Structure 1
């Protein structure tokens, strides 16, 4: 028998979830809490295997409740139950030890499957949540790839590049930066290599494309 505690400040919703699970012979709803502060006292007197936890509670955040539960009852698993399908919420709940994240519009079959899978030691996410996580990972990966593709130039090289973009000659750059003409030419040559450019026009194009100036 899988013993479940429902934590949600909306009594009607909690009652609805309890009703959905009422005919499941392998699942028993052992209680319902409407406040986060009621959870720990309840767990100290009642055996629970899984908590269905709303992440938006009026007194204590679901994140904090999850953290406390996982610290004091490490064998007890938490499934976040939320209407928020955002990667930041999912990530924060997972960081606090949640083993699942399902949306409040989920059907009975998915709810039961989530409870059974998490009880068996697996993780479970609503299909929509999985898609959100994948999109977030792809976005992060693309951002990392873009960051890696940006040429690394020194502060001095950036100063030289900025003056090149503003159509200064090598001699003018040398005068502005108090450098020798040879040093400026050396910086220009290095920039051509780093920015994979063949000439001044290429330097300007690459500098603007990578927002280096």
Structure 2
């Protein structure tokens, strides 16, 4: 593979954060990875939009709190300029109240600023592959993020319910394997069921947990499991 091809495959990242030390530290951290390329640092929303008109990042690390606007309110403007860009929200604040709004804007990840180097790099690569990433430190807040007003099923997530009654025994088996990172083929082989059956049960699991992706299902299931342990 030629150097030119390697360059074209780099994941381009734009950092949007008004805290200079954090932004520069993030750039230094990500620049140490050979497959990542930093295309710019923006200190506020206006700089972000200006850079977007001349750069084409694959991923934006977006601080939730900017001096001239809310990072959440900036998402629509970002998408209007570059609809394909993936956004990872950054927050050093208590994320309660921000998570719901961010998820409604269809962001691809959410990181607490105190996350370690390994987790930030992992998040960028996950999102670049079309997956979603939610910081491990978010578990205490996730129950607030997935509460909706569209019916009882979503409201269940915020309540200390018995998770044993929510999913069937087979669904729980599959959910436990999803949490471990198993794909459909691996789940099929492990449980000796067809891939079609795996997909059917997974669809039911997502519906019962009121989420649209496996990563969000893992986040909700982990939070519910933690609540269950605390209650007992």
TM class, shorter-length = 0.5 to 0.7
Q: Secondary structure at the match of 2:97?
A: helix
Match for residue 69 of structure 1 among 67, 75, 78? 78
What pairs up with 1:188-199 in 2 under 5 angstroms? none
Question: Map of 1:140-179 to 2, 5 A cutoff?
Answer: 140-141=155-156
Alpha-carbon contact 2:100-2:144 (below 8 Å) kept: no
Give 1:42 shift: 0.5
- In structure 2, what is the equivalent of residue 59 of structure 1? 68
Residues 98-127 of structure 1: per-residue CA shift (max 9 Å, x gap): 110000001111001100111111110101
Asked if 1:7 corresponds to 2:7, the answer is: no
Q: Which moved more, 1:10-19 or 1:125-134?
A: 125-134
CA positional deviation for 1:60: 1.5
The answer for unaligned runs of 5 or more in structure 2 is 1-9, 148-153, 162-232
1:132-177 Cα shifts (integer Å, max 9, x gaps):
214665894277799xxxxxxxxxxxxxxxxxxxxxxxxxxxxxxx
Q: What is the aligned partner in structure 1 of residue 90 from structure 2?
A: 81
Query: For residues 159 and 119 of structure 2, what CA distance do their matches in structure 1 show?
Result: 34
| Matching residue within 113, 116, 125 for 1:107 | 116
Runs of 4+ that moved beyond 3 A: 134-140, 142-146
Q: Aligned with 1:87: secondary structure? A: coil
Q: What is the CA deviation profile of residues 42-71 of structure 1, one whole-angstrom value per residue up to 9, with x for unaligned ones?
A: 111112110000010010110111121123
Residue 149 of structure 1 corresponds to none
8 Å contact from structure 2 (residues 29, 117) kept in 1: yes
Aligned to 2:134: 125
Larger deviation, residues 106-115 vs 129-138: 129-138
1:25 corresponding residue in structure 2: 34
- 2 CA distance for matches of 1:145 and 1:30? 45
TM-score normalised according to structure 2 size: 0.58
Give secondary structure in 2 for the equivalent of 1:24. coil
On the 8 A contact 1:70/1:77 being kept in 2, the answer is no
Q: Could you tell me the TM-score, scaled by structure 1's length?
A: 0.63
* Alignment check: 8 A CA contact 2:52 2:81 kept: no
Which stretches in structure 1 are left out of the alignment for 5+ residues? 147-213
